[in-house]
């Protein structure tokens, strides 16, 4: 009996020693962190999960929270790095996700989970992180009219790509919003442009300094009103944001910008289309415009007519006797206008009753066909530029809100171009086939 008791004691000691050795082996860890517990609606908060890899297992399965009630913006994953925790060595893997609360009230972020397979010395693990319950606060009522969705503190800087342009040219406007907040979610501010100007929003880029700070750049292409020239001052751009630190709305503004527009303005009698936020369909300097109707010259003094020499009467007789003789071929520009056949004009007329986007697509096809025709090369330079501007307008239409009046204005401008060119060439080739 004494020997049996001794044997049992030895087995107990060996089991305890083995258990102590197994318990001393490091195991994986899972930790979650949240840097804000009382954010405002739309205010970005950082949720970071950290996996401490003990280096013994493969085939781990990580299950993130569902983040119901939040918008999500995963951040770049940093490289793994060795760390020492409680005297044990681990490889730290981390992932940060920016969360944007969508509505006020109590919102819970459920635990993250990590399933770790076991081995001969360790059991399988099902690790769960801490759950978080947040109190999401609503934004104050009555925001300024220039507030869209900016949450944070920001500064503004605006600039133009050129200080001087000619009538019919465009210019790029850049707005840099720099600061801390929901940079990646910022919406562009409304532009307060002079009457008759058009703006097309282009690229938007974000450069981050850290998860919250950096700058976002908005770029517009501006198309000034061709009916005005000289020094133009663009009003400041207003940008409102809610500051979570002060809990107040704050409005920032840029400095006014100046632009010099050179050239002779287009006649104010010319109609200005209302293609909202797309492109101006006017493009011609009056000095280079297609001659539609030449202004009437002032009456010459009567006595100048008395100076006409008798040879003019002889020349008139010769001209009348040769009425049956065909003149040389019409100038190239006169032939070029025939590049717009009747079916193209019919397509433009039919486009008036189409929905705005389809009408603009139809105009684009007509203009592309005219541009591809060899006769296009014989068009006057001003007419070429006007066609290209109208083509850009039609192609940009899908990116802007359109009305039937907008597409109708585009059709009218295209027909006006063709008619003006036709009258010009007809006038210059009068009496020729």
Q: What is the pLDDT of residues 359-386, one digit of tens each?
A: 888 888 888 888 877 777 888 888 888 8
Rounded CA-CA distance 92/79 in Å is 9
pLDDT tens for each residue of 111-162: 999 998 877 777 888 999 999 999 999 999 999 999 999 999 999 999 999 9
Long-range contacts of 369-372 (CB under 8 A, 24+ apart): 369/344, 370/339, 370/340, 370/344
Longest CA–CA span in the chain (Å) reads 158
Nearest by Cα to 240 from 141, 174, 143, 137:
143
**pLDDT digits 0-9 by tens, 314-359:** 555 445 454 444 444 444 444 444 445 567 788 888 888 887 877 8
Q: Give the DSSP per-residue string, 92-129.
A: EEEEEEEEEE-SSEEEEEPPPEEEE---SSS--EEEE-
pLDDT at 308: 46
- pLDDT at res. 250: 97
What is the pLDDT confidence band of residue 261, given thresholds at 50, 70 and 90? very high
Q: Is the dihedral of CA 242, 245, 251, 254 positive or negative?
A: negative
Output the pLDDT for position 245.
95
**Per-residue pLDDT reduced to its tens digit, 66-110:** 898 898 888 888 999 999 988 889 999 999 999 999 999 999 999
Beta partners for residue 253, in sequence order: 238
Lowest mean pLDDT, pick from 46-50, 245-249, 307-311, 361-365 = 307-311
Angstrom distance (rounded) from CA 44 to CA 39? 8
How high is the pLDDT of residue 422? 74
Residue 99: both structure tokens together: 């969360």
Half-sphere exposure of 165 (CA within 13 A, CB side): 21
Q: Please give the average per-residue pLDDT across 175-186, as a whole number.
A: 94
The confidence score (pLDDT) of residue 397 equals 61
pLDDT at 301: 43
Strand order across the beta sheet in which 164-166 lies: 164-166, 257-262, 230-234
pLDDT (average), residues 192-211? 92
Under DSSP, the state recorded for 40 is B
Ordered DSSP codes for 196-218: T-EEEEEEEEEEESSSSEEEEEE
Q: Are 267 and 290 in contact (CB under 8 A)?
A: no
- Expressed in percent and rounded to 5, the helix, strand and coil fractions of the chain are 30, 30, 40
User: What pLDDT is stored for residue 410 in this prediction?
Assistant: 86
∠ CA 333-337-338, rounded to 5°: 125
pLDDT band with cut points at 50, 70 and 90 for residue 275: very low
Q: What pLDDT score was predicted for residue 288?
A: 38
Residue 251 half-sphere exposure toward CB, CA atoms < 13 A: 11
Length of the chain: 433
Query: Do 417 and 386 form a contact (C-beta atoms < 8 A)?
Result: yes
- If one counts every other C-beta atom within 10 angstroms of the C-beta of residue 275, the result is 26
The model's confidence at residue 392, banded by pLDDT at 50, 70 and 90, is confident
Percentage of the chain lying above the pLDDT 90 cut: 42
Q: How is residue 170 written in tokens? A: 């465009």
Q: Which of 412, 410, 430, 429 is nearest to 336 (CA)?
A: 429
Residue 402 confidence class, pLDDT cut points 50, 70, 90: low
pLDDT of residue 429: 57
| Mean pLDDT, residues 41-61 | 89
Residues 6 or more apart in contact with residue 219 via CB below 8 angstroms: 172, 173, 174, 175, 201, 202, 203, 204
Picking from 372, 362, 358, the residue whose alpha carbon sits closest to that of residue 414 is 362
What mean pLDDT do residues 283-293 have? 37
Residue 268 has pLDDT above 60, yes or no: no
Residue 352, Ramachandran bin (φ over 0: left; ψ between -120 and 50: alpha; else beta): alpha
Mean pLDDT of the chain: 78
| Owner of token pair 């990590």 | 114
| Residue 206 binned pLDDT confidence (cut-offs 50, 70, 90) | very high
């Amino acid at each position: 009996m004494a020997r049996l008791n001794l044997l049992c004691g030895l087995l107990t000691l060996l089991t305890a020693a083995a258990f102590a050795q197994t318990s001393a082996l490091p195991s994986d860890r899972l930790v979650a962190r949240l840097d804000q517990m009382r954010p405002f609606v739309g205010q970005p908060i950082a949720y970071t999960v950290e996996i401490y890899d003990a280096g013994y297992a493969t085939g781990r399965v990580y299950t993130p929270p569902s983040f119901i009630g939040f918008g999500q913006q995963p951040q770049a994953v940093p490289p793994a790095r060795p760390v020492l925790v409680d005297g044990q060595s681990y490889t730290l893997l981390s992932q940060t996700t920016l969360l944007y609360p969508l509505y006020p009230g109590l919102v819970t972020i459920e635990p993250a989970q990590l399933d770790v397979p076991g081995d001969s010395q360790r059991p399988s693990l099902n690790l769960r992180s801490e759950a978080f319950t947040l109190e999401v606060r609503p934004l104050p009522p009555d925001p300024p009219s220039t507030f869209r969705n900016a949450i944070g503190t920001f500064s503004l800087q605006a600039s133009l790509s050129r200080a001087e342009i000619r009538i019919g040219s465009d210019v790029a406007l850049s707005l840099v919003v720099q600061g801390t907040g929901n940079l990646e979610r910022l919406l562009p501010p409304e532009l307060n442009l002079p009457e008759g100007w058009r703006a097309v929003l282009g690229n938007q880029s974000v450069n981050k300094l850290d998860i919250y700070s950096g700058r976002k750049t908005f770029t517009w292409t501006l198309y000034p009103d061709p009916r005005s020239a000289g020094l133009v001052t663009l009003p400041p751009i207003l940008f409102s944001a809610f500051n979570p630190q002060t809990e107040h709305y704050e409005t920032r503004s840029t400095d006014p910008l100046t632009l010099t527009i050179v050239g002779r303005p287009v006649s104010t009698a010319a109609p200005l289309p209302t293609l909202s936020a797309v492109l101006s369909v006017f493009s011609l300097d009056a000095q280079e415009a297609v001659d539609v109707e030449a202004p009437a010259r002032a009456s010459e003094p009567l006595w100048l007519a008395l100076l006409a020499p008798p040879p003019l009467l002889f020349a008139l007789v010769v001209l009348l006797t040769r009425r049956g003789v065909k003149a040389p071929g019409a100038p190239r520009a006169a032939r070029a206008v025939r590049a717009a056949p009747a079916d193209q004009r019919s397509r433009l007329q039919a486009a008036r009753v189409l929905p705005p986007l389809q009408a603009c697509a139809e105009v684009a096809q007509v203009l592309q066909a005219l541009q591809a025709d060899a006769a296009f090369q014989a068009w006057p330079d001003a007419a070429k530029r006007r066609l290209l501007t109208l083509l850009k307008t039609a192609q940009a239409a899908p990116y802007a809100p359109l009305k039937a009046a907008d597409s109708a204005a585009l059709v009218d401008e295209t027909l006006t171009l063709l008619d003006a060119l036709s009258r010009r060439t007809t006038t210059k080739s009068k009496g020729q086939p």
